[in-house]
Structure 1
Amino acid sequence: MTTKSLLLGTIAGIAVIGAAQAADLPMTKGEAVEYVKVCTAFGPGFFYIPGTDTCLKIGGEIRADYRAFGGKNFSRNDNRSAFNTEARIWFDARTQTDWGMLRSYFQIDADSHPISKQGRASGGYNGNTFTIDKAFIQFGGLTAGYAHSFFGFYDNEYGDTIWAPYYTEVNTVNLLAYTAQFGGGFSATLSIEDGRDHRVNGFATTNTYYAAQGGQQVPDVVGQLRWDQNWGSLAVQAAGHQFRSAQLFDTTGAPIASPNKSKYGWAAGGTALIKLPFIDGGHFIVEGQYADGALDYLGAGNTWYANSDYFLNSNANVRSGKGWSVTAELGGNITPVLNANLVGAYIDTKYDDLLTTDASSSLKEYTLAGNLTYTIVKGLTAAAEVAYTHGKFDNWSGVSTGTNTAPVKDYNVWQVGIRLKRVF
């Protein structure tokens, strides 16, 4: 065998072995790419989560606020100007099932320099905060989780002030609710809500024995009847709320004798919405309510000086707060890029026999606010608001502002500012 023949035979053998090994390998091709598909079943912005029949919408916004404050009864510890930035992001997942729509919603807010929700200029600095705004599940008529209270609907669906306070139910609460639809626009909701989310413990006076609330025994019960039509909506709502006094302790932490008190309060109200067809998005809405021992449903936590549900005076007698409130809003789009809103709100709360004598105490407060919002480009707006709040205490002792020791008798506050907001 010549050298040439040996070389050719070796090359041929290698080729045969390589071909045999290649025949053993699986045949492959480029795998199909699963593109994100648009979901049109629930409106714009939804897309299918790959590999599922669930539609998801992700959104968010950035708010940059710049405000100035003025008025009467400000102390050196109160801010006269305040800058604040807030970021929000939300996830809305929906699936159509044989039993109805299954929905889960989650929103988280990040705040650079939080200021009290009523807009009060606070001297303290709390730093960055992250809060759960909402987190709930809906399945058919069932709502479970952390959602807006079903008492009223102004704050949840309108509430178009930028910072100015108004006096309605404004809380997001832990709840379990069911809404039944009867046709013709009629619906009814029964909601069991965490009473701790509806407590108002805003202040104490020099004559108060104590105002602390203890552990919850009975949750709040909220009911609403609602009628929705093309021309607007009508609703009536009611709620029951328990107060339960807390155990007192001395300075060493040892329990001391304290009266054990429990009492039940209630609230009732109504809402009327009229749509104004001659204005794009035009509407007039008014919501009012009365409460006895359940002042959160009045929006009492939004007053400049907060109220409380109950007090025990120095005779250890329970004294509940009573009152009423009303809020009205007129708004709409003046042009396709300019929106305007006017809001007026009033609250009147009263405490009978709060002191050791038979004296009564009360707080009356009202707010007037107006704002304009201009759409610069889609998703970017600039808004300006002016608001005035005036309040007056009658026969009220011990309520002070900042480091002032003199009791506050009446006060007024101006707020003016601008907000830049980007929604995506």
Structure 2
Amino acid sequence: MSIKSYFLAVVASFAGAGAAAAADLPEMKSQAVEYVKVCSQFGPGFFYLPGSNTCLQIAGTMRALYGFNSIPGGSYSTTPGFVPGRGGGRRDVDSTAFQGRFQLDFDARTQTDYGVLRSYFSIDANFGHPGPQTRPFGSYSGSNYVVEKAYVEFGGLTAGYAESRFAFYDNYYADTIFAPYAGSGQDGTTGVLAYTAQFGNSGWSATLSLEDPAHARQGILNDNPVGVADVAYGGNRYPDIIGDIAYSSGKFDKIQIMAAAHQLWLVGGNPNSSDRSKWGYAVGAGASWEIPVLAGGYFAIEGAYSSGASIYTGAAMNLNATAGSPPNYDGFSVDGRVENAKAVSVEGELAINFTPNLRGMIFGSYAHFDAPTAVEVDGVGSGFDAYVVGANMKWTVVEGFDVIPEVSYQATHAKVAGFNEIGGEGLYNNSKADTGAVMGGVEFRRSF
């Protein structure tokens, strides 16, 4: 027998012995490995982090936006002392703009003996063409990244960078794509330390919140004679104090009343003046109702009034309005004496589901801002009325993909001609007290 034949015989004998031994063993079935374990207690999309009892949800929204605005006619130039202008005429302001935006959300929750422990983080990645754009999207120059929210919740405690507890309309509704609007939601995201008490299963709750006062500042306008120092905000002394009482009985049926206190801690002016520390305030209410005869239809409305705390009425939104408006402030220094600025706003929307995949919405807002008479006479500031009306249509092509066209009209009437901002670019109409513009576009939205 050759060496090769001997080697093959040995291999064959070992193979036969192995097969016989295997035949004597019990049959073993492979078990499925569960790489991701679904967590259903907090709703769809959550899964357990391996080796823990913490559930995580990762969600995202991609938006591609194409917008336009009609810049009103007239003669434009920059006005020293206000928002820096870009110079030139209306040829220097964009009428069309493109933007991409991606929002990524992380929501981690753990059930404990003392309630749910939650951490939430949201980040926006934005892209716009280099150079200032029109206000349909805000002024993006190339790419930027913005922290949208970052907070911790435990029981009724909320701490971190979260939505102001004064807000109602913006928290639940405000489904406009391009159009700005007045309202409490313009206070937006801020530093928050809040506690919310739930009154059993009644649907009623009450919140007390301490919030970042620097975020709520809208500035001080000065109209002082020679020899009187200008007045400005000093350092923070007290946080803004927010309180609300709310009721909710479902997805759409909600009511809320809210109040805010904001300190104007001032430097400059007359050092002997008693109004170098003043308090401003705001009060508001919001409500929404489901429309039973329209599946998914609802009507929502909110109103607010402020004295020395303009941001809580959303009057500050007019600095972002394509239609334009004068600047607004929390207070005015007239002859070294500070007066609180007054503002009021009302906003709302009506939504109707025509089909399960097609929803229409109409919306509108109104803001009124008061300036002291002395300031208006001197022509360095102005009270104004601002209006926004519009409509959009959301077509859900397939689950997770929406196409949303929108159009709106915005108009501002100022008491003093010459200080209407145009296009949010720091350009002022020096010949008119009234401005108006049409703005709109389309958004393509992919959510997961």
TM-score (norm: length of structure 2): 0.79
In the other structure, the counterpart of 2:13 is none
Match of 1:262 among 277, 300, 322: 277
Q: Are positions 1:393 and 2:414 aligned together? A: yes
In the other structure, the counterpart of 1:240 is 261
The AA in structure 2 aligned to 1:57 is Q
Contact 1:77 1:123 in 2 (8 A): no
Task: Give structure 1 stretches of 5+ with no counterpart.
Answer: 1-29, 249-255
Q: 1:286 offset after TM fit, Å?
A: 0.5
SS at match of 1:198: coil
Q: Are positions 1:369 and 2:390 aligned together? A: yes
In the other structure, the counterpart of 2:212 is 194
In the other structure, the counterpart of 2:430 is 406
In the other structure, the counterpart of 2:196 is 179
Summarize the Cα distance change of 1:369–1:356 in structure 2 as closer, same or farther, 3 Å threshold. closer
In the other structure, the counterpart of 1:227 is 247
Contact 1:319 1:351 in 2 (8 A): no
SS at match of 1:297: helix
Summarize the Cα distance change of 1:101–1:85 in structure 2 as closer, same or farther, 3 Å threshold. same
Summarize the Cα distance change of 1:276–1:203 in structure 2 as closer, same or farther, 3 Å threshold. farther
Q: Are positions 1:139 and 2:154 aligned together? A: yes
Q: 1:358 offset after TM fit, Å?
A: 9.2
Contact 2:39 2:48 in 1 (8 A): yes
Task: Give structure 2 stretches of 5+ with no counterpart.
Answer: 1-29, 77-89
Question: CA-to-partner distance for each residue in 1:290-313, whole Å, 9 max, x for gaps?
Answer: 110101000122113342111223
Contact 2:420 2:434 in 1 (8 A): no
The aligned runs of 1:37-186 (5 Å cut-off) are 37-73=37-73, 75-113=90-128, 120=135, 126-170=141-185, 171-183=188-200, 184-186=202-204
RMSD of aligned alpha carbons? 3.2
The AA in structure 2 aligned to 1:293 is G
Question: CA-to-partner distance for each residue in 1:50-77, whole Å, 9 max, x for gaps?
Answer: 0000000001111110011114257222
In structure 1, C-alpha distance between the alignment counterparts of 2:134 and 2:267, rounded to whole Å: 30
Question: CA-to-partner distance for each residue in 1:370-394, whole Å, 9 max, x for gaps?
Answer: 0001111111111100100010110
In structure 1, C-alpha distance between the alignment counterparts of 2:341 and 2:431, rounded to whole Å: 20
The AA in structure 2 aligned to 1:49 is L
In the other structure, the counterpart of 2:85 is none
The AA in structure 2 aligned to 1:167 is A
In structure 1, C-alpha distance between the alignment counterparts of 2:236 and 2:100, rounded to whole Å: 35
In the other structure, the counterpart of 1:325 is 345
Question: CA-to-partner distance for each residue in 1:239-270, whole Å, 9 max, x for gaps?
Answer: 0001123469xxxxxxx999882211000011
In structure 1, C-alpha distance between the alignment counterparts of 2:178 and 2:441, rounded to whole Å: 9
In structure 2, C-alpha distance between the alignment counterparts of 1:124 and 1:148, rounded to whole Å: 22
SS at match of 1:155: helix
The AA in structure 2 aligned to 1:147 is A
Match of 1:338 among 358, 363, 367: 358
The AA in structure 1 aligned to 2:35 is Y
In structure 1, C-alpha distance between the alignment counterparts of 2:62 and 2:306, rounded to whole Å: 36
Summarize the Cα distance change of 1:373–1:104 in structure 2 as closer, same or farther, 3 Å threshold. same
Question: CA-to-partner distance for each residue in 1:194-235, whole Å, 9 max, x for gaps?
Answer: 111112249888999756422111110000011122471221
In structure 1, C-alpha distance between the alignment counterparts of 2:240 and 2:284, rounded to whole Å: 16
The AA in structure 2 aligned to 1:181 is Q
In structure 2, C-alpha distance between the alignment counterparts of 1:206 and 1:415, rounded to whole Å: 38
Question: CA-to-partner distance for each residue in 1:356-411, whole Å, 9 max, x for gaps?
Answer: 96999411001001000111111111110010001011036555544557265111
In structure 2, C-alpha distance between the alignment counterparts of 1:153 and 1:197, rounded to whole Å: 18
Match of 2:286 among 260, 264, 271: 271
Contact 1:104 1:138 in 2 (8 A): yes
In structure 2, C-alpha distance between the alignment counterparts of 1:391 and 1:209, rounded to whole Å: 32
